[in-house]
Chains A and B, each alone.
Chain A
Amino acid sequence: MKPGTSPSAPTRELWQRLKASGTARASLLLLIPLLVCALGADLIANDRPYTMVHQGERYFPAFRGMLVDTGLVHWPQPLLGVDFSRLPRSQGVFAPIPYRASGIDLMNSLTAPSSEHVLGTDKLGRDIAAGMVHGARISLTIGVVAVGIAAVIGILLGAVAGYFGGLIDLLVNRLFELMMAIPTFFLIITISAFVREPSIFYIMAVIGFTGWVGIARFTRNEFARARGMDYVTAAEALGAKSGRIMFRHILPNAMDPIIVSVVFGIAGAILVESGLSFLGIGVPADVVTWGSILNEARGNTFAWWLAVFPGCAIFLTVLSYNLLGEALRDALDPRLRGHLKGQ
């Protein structure tokens, strides 16, 4: 083996176990299409054509549009007056779902799935298929960012408590118990009551700041265990500072349960977001998420497509993250089987 190329034993074993695991494969089978949807949402569902000829010039509005949305460039002069959603389909090459998620069309309110709108439309005539695809991006972003915030808080607090022990450990543990004693969902609803202008970022932050306890506890236990290991004592004997010992020496060895906990946490965060959107306290009204589509099904019980499609999407996404979490847990440490769950 060439020097510098061999993976560490844990990493290599992890890959082998994951490859052999049916659970892992099943979860990836579900997650990969979801990731494709999330990353390529603008190419899968877009009311702007990929390419079109207008007044003798060729344009690429779908791609240009992404830059326009970021504020970096402007539409070229000839396209300024064009309403893409009313453009005849024959005038350009369109995305498979030629609608955007929030494109209101009151003429087509609550249409059932048809060749025009494959998954139907909601009360405002918004295309559900486009909403589902863009909702995937929002769901995954919320899951990852919220748990990212939770992981940073959880790892910092857990590391400090586990490494220093004593009084600090005692106090941080009481904080864990305090957080666990408050039902997170109600805490989020309460906080929402004080927020004037809800946004997706605020939802991510709230879920993140309330969801770190599980990660923190796993981190704390791993650090407390590593504290007495010889390789940590050796680093101390070298004169390494506490921060270096904690994050360079111990953290890489403590990652296993943290990773598993993060993956379960993503599933939890997606579920919380859907729940909030369903109750109508999550994201602003003009943002379409799976939860908000589901919310519309409440008032329009005959429109089964408003309940079935987002419901299935939430179910499959949460299922796939939970499967991935379980596969990782079993692959990282078979002894943990059945013991480690999300928050």
Chain B
Amino acid sequence: MSGAPLLEVEGLAKHFPLGGGWLGGERKLLKAVDGVSFALAAGELVALVGESGCGKSTTGRLILRLLAPTTGSVRFRGEDLLAADARRMKELRRDIQVIFQDPYASLNPRMRIGTILEEPLVVHGIGNAGERRERVHEVLGQVGLTESALGRYPHEFSGGQRQRVCIARALMLGPSLVVADEPVSSLDVSIQAQVINLVQDLRQARELTILFIAHDLNMVRHISDRVAVMYLGRIVEEGRTEAVYQNPLHPYTRALLDAVPIADPTVRRQRQLLSGDLPSPVDLPPGCRFQSRCPEVMDRCRKEDPQLIQMDSVHRVACLLHG
């Protein structure tokens, strides 16, 4: 990593109260995100990977300040996002944009594509009607849609096309950071590659910094510079993509990699598959969060909570097997 990071997340946590706590009852907390720290250098694509419910999407929403964190800080170009007032935050939103997972839900069904794409410019009072239209046309071309799309409604498009619209909307304001929250997970496999390639192209053309949230390790291997693996609200392993894929240190990362199918039926390999269920993020056991499913669980794991430690210059892991 060179220079000052564009985005720095430190000790970020989000605990959702679950009722209870009324008239002296015990108040339960759902710890969706529980102390997450990482940084993105300008121009980097970092993949945040984990199972459903591990807190990766919540992390994305905390960074976008769509949710207020319980504790922790988010710094963008050194500026504390959480301290920004409403006016400053609106300015910052021009620089930080988001692409959602489900392009069926994230486009307003009663708005034409042209209106949806113009909306960011209108909200921020950019340009006059003619300039805005020009800008919409320009971005529309960049995401591979034609002008005929502008007068239509979202329901007239396929999932892949809709996701292109969502990407175009995110790019309208010319952001430097894009949080892509599982942008291809809800698409057909045949379309996923197209959208991933589009994200890659745009990233290069516009020098975007991207936080790419995904649940599939295989998909992000070829596009990410670094990978962070999340489990139950914590990052358990983080490092340069090649380091993590070639030498996965955390048993959970290994299990995730083993779960990736190989497209060759003759290959037999030693698989380490996970058994057991994800523990509830409400009642976390003491010690390591992964102990109930870890194939290499030790006595220590039931008492000590492992912290992320630096293994070498490009690789960090939170596991008692290491250190």
Contacts and interface: CB of A to CB of B under 8 A. Distances in A.
Q: Which 3 A-B pairs have the closest CB atoms?
A: A3-B151, A4-B151, A230-B106
Interface residues of B, number: 36
A315 B150 CA distance: 48
A2 B147 CA distance: 11
A236 B96 CA distance: 12
Interface in B76-106: 89-90, 93-94, 97-98, 100-102, 105-106
A10 B151 contact: no
16 contacts: A2-B151, A3-B149, A3-B152, A4-B112, A6-B151, A8-B109, A9-B109, A9-B155, A230-B105, A231-B106, A234-B106, A238-B120, A238-B123, A238-B124, A239-B89, A252-B111
A1 B112 CA distance: 14
Given A3-B151, A8-B109, A253-B110, A233 B66 contact: yes
Contacts of A253: 108-110
A229 interface: yes
Contacts, number: 81
A3 B66 contact: no
Nearest to A233: B66
Contacts of B110: 8, 10, 252-253
Interface residues of A, number: 25
Contact of A6 (B64, B93, B106, B153): B153
Contacts of B106: 230-231, 233-234
A234 B100 contact: yes
A239 B90 contact: yes
Contacts of B90: 239
Nearest to A8: B153
Contacts of A1: 152
Nearest to A255: B110
Interface string B224-248: 0000000000000000000000000
Nearest to A4: B151
A240 interface: yes
A237 interface: yes
B100 A239 contact: no
A230 B102 contact: yes
B201 interface: no
A237 B102 CA distance: 15
B107 A237 contact: no
A10 B110 CA distance: 8
Contacts of B150: 3-4
A237 B108 contact: no
Interface in B141-193: 147-153, 155-156, 166, 169, 173
Contacts of A8: 109-110, 153, 155
A8 B61 CA distance: 30
B222 to A, nearest CB: 27
At the interface, is chain B mostly helix, strand, loop or mixed? loop
Contacts of B207: none
B58 to A, nearest CB: 13
Interface of A: 1-6, 8-10, 229-231, 233-241, 244, 249, 252-253
B119 interface: yes
A5 B64 CA distance: 36
A236 B66 contact: yes
A231 B156 CA distance: 17
A229 B101 CA distance: 12
A163 B232 CA distance: 30
Contacts of A249: 108, 111
B237 to A, nearest CB: 29
B108 A231 contact: yes
B153 A231 contact: no
Given A6-B156, A237-B66, A239-B124, A231 B105 contact: yes
Nearest to B147: A3
A232 B93 CA distance: 15
Given A238-B169, A241-B123, 13 more contacts: A3-B149, A5-B151, A6-B152, A230-B101, A231-B106, A231-B109, A233-B61, A234-B98, A236-B66, A237-B97, A239-B123, A240-B119, A252-B108
A65 B106 CA distance: 57
A282 to B, nearest CB: 39
Contacts of A6: 151-153, 156
Contacts of B166: 234
B64 A237 contact: yes
Contacts of B123: 238-241, 244
Contacts of A235: 108, 119
A229 B111 CA distance: 15
Contacts of A229: 105
Contacts of A5: 151
B178 to A, nearest CB: 11
Contacts of A238: 93, 97, 119-120, 123-124, 169, 173
Contacts of B156: 6, 9
